[in-house]
Structure 1
């Protein structure tokens, strides 16, 4: 094995131990979260077990850090986010973040229609925060029917029936944040979806810091 590679691998264990202790997580708790046995985690941190992708991936997801951070890879390469649109439910989602796990940011584009669409309310686990950039957004949330102009924001628990669309048939652009459950439903799984109350909130507010009732 190349000496430089050996040095990188030798540094993984101490880095993992330091990260776990900094987060205040015990080996038992980490084992429960990752599915990796305590003995394997202990040997990995002490350097008795070589780091492998199979071990590092669940650790990166648990700590919510890029894999490069765990192995101490240098910050090289193109820092730009390559925006590859995702088309779902007649809408377009443009990813604005690429960090593995945690809350994900997207620009959401609702196309113009000749006539406003009838709401088809869905539910799913998760939480969402949105901010209207252009157009007039119609947000139907349980028994609320709201129109949000540019500059307004809303946050809601998606376990309540909800629907997003154009209020007047025109195109709408918004920034939307999904927690992991919401992201999987909107971007990956074509399944029925459910928010607590939502209403306009301060755009400067923490996106998932509080829930309105």
Structure 2
């Protein structure tokens, strides 16, 4: 076996431990999600157990990352991002980034409906910034019930009960930046020079 291959295998355990800790998960929580025992996960992270496809596939699904990210595989020469839509709560999320553990970018598509939907509030750890591309978004955030037309943005802590939906039953498209552990989007604008050139 080549030295490079051995180096890749030895780096898997620390990479898995760092990813789990960054996501704020315990071994017990991860075991419950993946079906892999706590002892196996612990040995895998400490390097006492060799990584196998059988162990890495459920971990990649649980972390929602490509398998290549878990093993630290070098990127191929193809710069395209192959998007795999995620369907949840009747909406479609298209991942636009694939970095593990930090701010994630998504395009979200809310389909048109025959009748207005009743808000179903959700809460989870993190911070969200969104920008409406098309349509009219209804954002229910705690006691606030807001309508954001195309071109408007919002930012909020996702620990607050919140719900996103169409304000008028028509389709809505938006961009979302989501930080799992409260990372916030920072916007900076340059001041324009008042002198004409």
Q: TM-score with structure 1 length normalisation?
A: 0.54
* Structure 2 gap ranges (5+): 16-20, 22-26, 31-37, 189-197
Q: CA deviation at 1:203?
A: 7.3
For 2:42, which of 36, 45, 57 is the aligned residue? 36
Q: Deviations over 1:80-119 (max 9, x none)?
A: 222233333222222222334444322111123355x143
Q: How does 1:31-70 map to 2 (within 5 A)?
A: 36=42, 41=46, 44=47, 52-53=51-52, 68=68
Q: How does 1:1-213 map to 2 (within 5 A)?
A: 3=1, 6-12=2-8, 36=42, 41=46, 44=47, 52-53=51-52, 68=68, 73-76=73-76, 78-115=78-115, 117-127=116-126, 128-180=128-180, 204=187
Number of aligned positions between the proteins: 167
* Structure 1 gap ranges (5+): 20-24, 26-30, 182-194, 196-200, 206-213
Distance 1:66 1:169 in 2: 34
Against the structure 1 CA distance between its residues 82 and 144, is the aligned structure 2 distance closer, same or farther, given a 3 Å change threshold? same
Q: TM-score with structure 2 length normalisation?
A: 0.58
Q: CA deviation at 1:121?
A: 3.2
Against the structure 1 CA distance between its residues 145 and 154, is the aligned structure 2 distance closer, same or farther, given a 3 Å change threshold? same
- CA-based RMSD of the aligned residues comes to 4.6
Equivalent residue of 2:42, what SS? coil
